[in-house]
Structure formats: structure tokens, C-alpha cells
């Protein structure tokens, strides 16, 4: 398809349009994704998450600039960034504009930034983000950084759909312990202690390290705790090196392929589940009848589910 040929040739408008189609779940998006797939496994993918206010957007901006200017960008000369907006009905997309401006201010020209609203993402934000990353990947963007705010399951799912996952914390956010509870601490390959010039940075670093001491190791990789001051560009070279070291570890340990395989499997599983959910929703009237029976106490939820399963599986 011409659109795919064009974006693979490095044409930015074609890339932007393909992303929009994929993001909106346009009917042509499936054909785009199928055609792109064989060309979409080259880019190194970096996931970034952490509590709001930790300075992730600025960090992503300067990190992208670092990658771009260090000549470590192999593709069409650009780093790809996907910024996912939590889009609460309260905040609307108000935050996103600020974040994009922060990234743009910090980043090099050779950085392709794309924002995405999580609300209304058909098939879930983690799926859509990975599909958009595939499109960027096929267009030669490398590395691709996927940034998301918050500690919800959706955010965690986005951030872990990466080769290297950064969890960004700041001493002042006071969220360290909470973030841990919400499970985002477990997905970090590299901890970034941003705003490390502020009070409490030392204490937070010790806190993280001591938790790591107690963690059951699932890998021989121990996540390093990198201190940065993103606004002043401090610690960014070292952070880029830590990401590089994790990449080397993945390659030499064989975890690289294993991780990618697992990710792919999880992704396929999610598509299967979503397809079933869509069938469940479209079973409409029949589902309503069964819900009525459950309401009346004539059927248990489990038995109703069994019956629906038999019917939608046909």
C-alpha cells in the first residue's frame, strides 16, 4: 500500500496519517498493521512511567535529545516518542499540551513526538500504543520511547511493553511508597530519581536500594538507581548508559528475545480477549435475557457466563 511505502521511505506526513488511522481504529488500520508487521521489530523500545510531577516529560525530552545527538539513532534519523494522556474527564487533555511543550522544548529536531489520549482507545491503550510504536518502528524511528503518567494498570501495561522500562520518581512527590504499592516498582529495569538536587533524594535512593535487597530476583539484572536533574540535563549521559547496559544485558543473557516473545504473546492474548468481549457486547439481546435470569435468581452469574460462552463461541 502506498501509505506504508511512503512512511517506510521516511515521509513524515505519511507516518502521521498512518498513526492517526491506527489510533482511531479505522477500518484500514488492520491492513496497515498487517503490512507493517514484518518491518516492525527493529527499534529498541523504552517505556517510561511514574507518578505525576516526577518530571517525566522533561526527562523524556532531554533523553531523546541525548539519543539523537549522540548519533545512536540508526533509523531515519529520529527518535520516536509516544506520550499517553490519562485523559480523566476532570482534567480533560489539559495536561497533555504542557507535557508536549516540555518535551519539544527539551528535544532535538530529530525527535518525532506523538501524543495519544487513552480515553476512547479502542482495544485498550496498551494495545494501541504498541500498534503506534510498530508504525514508528517501520518508519525507521529508533529508539521509541513510550511515556505514560500514573500508576494505574493501564499505565503499567504501556510501560512494560518495552525492552527497557524506566520508573521515574522524585524526592518531593512523596509517592515513593504509594507507587510501590500500586505495583509500578516491580516493572522497573532502571529507576530514575529525578530532581535529585532536592531534599530527600538521598533518603529515597536508600529506600529503593533497600527494597531491591529484599526483592526476589527474577533476573541477574539488578535495576540501578540513576540520579538526574532533567531540567539542567544532569545525569542524562549516565542514564543513557544505564539503558545501554540493560540492553547489553538483555542481549547477552538471552532475555531480549524471551521478553519480546512474552510481550507478543501477551499482546495476542489481549486481542483474543477483546474480540470475545466485542462478541459478548454484540450478543446484545441474548445477554440481556440471561442477565434477567440472573437478576431473578434463576441462574448464577457463573452458569450464565457458561451459557453465553457456548453461544458466542459458535
Q: Please, which of residues 193-212 interact with its own copies by CB under 8 A?
A: 211
One symbol per residue from 238 to 257: x for binding its own copies (CB under 8 A), - otherwise; what is it?
A: -------------------x
Single out the residue of 181, 203, 222, 251 in contact with its own copies (rule: CB under 8 A): 181
295 touches its own copies by CB under 8 A:
yes
The C-alpha angle 188, 118, 67, rounded to 5 degrees, equals 50
Residue where the block lists cell 479502542: 122
H-run or E-run covering 56:
helix 56-69
Phi, psi of 170, rounded to the nearest 5 degrees: -135, 150
Are the C-beta atoms of 22 and 131 separated by less than 8 Å? yes
297 touches its own copies by CB under 8 A:
yes
Distance from the first to the final alpha carbon of the chain:
34
- Give the separation between CA 59 and CA 267, rounded to whole angstroms: 28
Nearest approach, Cβ of residue 250 and its own copies (Å): 15
Nearer to its own copies, 98 or 277 (CB): 277
Nearer to its own copies, 247 or 263 (CB): 263
Closest CA to 45 of 196, 132, 164, 170: 164
Nearest approach, Cβ of residue 232 and its own copies (Å): 26
Over its C-alpha atoms, the chain yields an Rg (Å, rounded) of 21
Write the CA distances from 64 to 58, 84, 135, 142, 212, integer angstroms: 10, 16, 18, 10, 28
219 touches its own copies by CB under 8 A:
no
- Which parts of 256-285 interact with its own copies (CB under 8 A)? 257, 260-261, 264-265, 267-269, 271-273, 275-277, 280-281
Nearer to its own copies, 16 or 154 (CB): 154
Single out the residue of 137, 147, 163, 175 in contact with its own copies (rule: CB under 8 A): 175
Q: State the cell numbers at 248.
A: 547489553
H-run or E-run covering 196:
none
237 touches its own copies by CB under 8 A:
no
Which strands, in side-by-side order, build the sheet including 111-117?
A: 111-117, 79-85, 144-148, 45-49, 164-169, 190-193, 225-227
Nearer to its own copies, 252 or 313 (CB): 313
- Which parts of 93-132 interact with its own copies (CB under 8 A)? none
- Give the separation between CA 207 and CA 96, rounded to whole angstroms: 31
Q: Which stretch binds its own copies (CB under 8 A): 18-26, 69-77, 219-227, 298-306?
A: 298-306
34 touches its own copies by CB under 8 A:
yes
Nearest approach, Cβ of residue 183 and its own copies (Å): 6
Closest CA to 114 of 149, 72, 84: 84
Nearest approach, Cβ of residue 38 and its own copies (Å): 4
- Which parts of 55-84 interact with its own copies (CB under 8 A)? none
301 touches its own copies by CB under 8 A:
yes
Single out the residue of 180, 200, 233, 259 in contact with its own copies (rule: CB under 8 A): 180
Total residues at interface with its own copies (CB under 8 A) = 71
Nearer to its own copies, 245 or 283 (CB): 283
H-run or E-run covering 14:
helix 12-23
Closest CA to 161 of 130, 199, 207: 130
Single out the residue of 74, 183, 202, 244 in contact with its own copies (rule: CB under 8 A): 183
Amino acid at each position: 500500500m502506498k501509505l506504508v511505502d511512503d512512511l517506510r521511505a521516511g515521509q513524515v506526513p505519511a507516518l502521521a496519517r498512518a498513526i492517526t488511522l491506527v489510533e482511531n481504529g479505522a477500518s484500514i488500520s488492520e491492513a496497515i498493521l498487517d503490512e507493517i508487521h514484518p518491518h516492525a521489530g527493529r527499534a529498541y523500545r523504552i517505556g517510561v512511567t511514574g507518578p505525576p510531577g516526577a518530571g517525566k516529560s522533561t526527562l523524556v525530552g532531554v533523553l531523546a535529545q541525548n539519543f539523537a545527538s549522540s548519533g545512536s539513532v540508526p533509523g531515519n534519523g529520529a527518535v520516536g516518542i509516544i506520550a499517553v494522556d490519562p485523559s480523566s474527564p476532570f482534567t480533560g487533555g489539559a495536561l497533555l499540551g504542557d507535557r508536549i511543550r516540555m518535551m519539544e522544548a527539551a528535544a532535538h529536531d530529530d525527535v518525532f513526538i506523538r501524543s495519544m489520549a487513552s480515553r476512547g482507545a479502542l482495544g485498550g491503550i496498551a494495545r494501541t500504543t504498541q500498534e503506534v510504536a510498530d508504525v514508528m518502528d517501520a518508519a525507521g524511528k529508533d529508539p521509541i520511547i513510550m511515556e505514560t503518567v500514573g500508576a494505574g494498570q493501564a499505565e503499567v501495561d504501556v510501560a512494560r511493553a518495552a525492552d527497557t522500562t524506566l520508573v521515574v520518581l522524585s524526592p518531593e512527590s512523596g509517592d515513593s511508597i504509594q507507587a510501590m504499592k500500586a505495583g509500578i516498582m516491580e516493572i522497573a529495569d532502571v529507576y530514575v530519581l529525578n530532581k535529585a538536587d532536592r531534599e530527600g533524594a538521598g533518603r529515597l535512593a536508600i529506600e529503593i536500594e533497600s527494597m531491591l535487597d529484599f526483592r526476589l530476583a527474577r533476573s541477574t539484572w539488578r535495576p540501578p538507581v540513576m540520579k538526574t536533574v532533567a531540567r539542567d540535563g544532569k545525569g542524562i549521559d549516565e542514564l543513557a548508559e544505564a539503558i545501554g547496559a540493560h540492553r547489553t544485558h538483555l542481549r547477552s543473557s538471552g532475555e531480549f528475545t524471551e521478553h519480546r516473545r512474552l510481550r507478543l504473546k501477551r499482546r495476542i492474548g489481549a486481542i483474543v480477549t477483546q474480540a470475545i468481549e466485542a462478541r459478548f457486547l454484540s450478543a446484545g439481546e441474548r445477554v440481556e435475557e440471561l442477565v434477567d435470569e440472573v437478576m431473578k435468581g434463576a441462574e448464577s452469574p457463573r452458569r450464565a457466563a457458561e451459557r453465553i460462552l457456548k453461544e458466542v463461541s459458535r
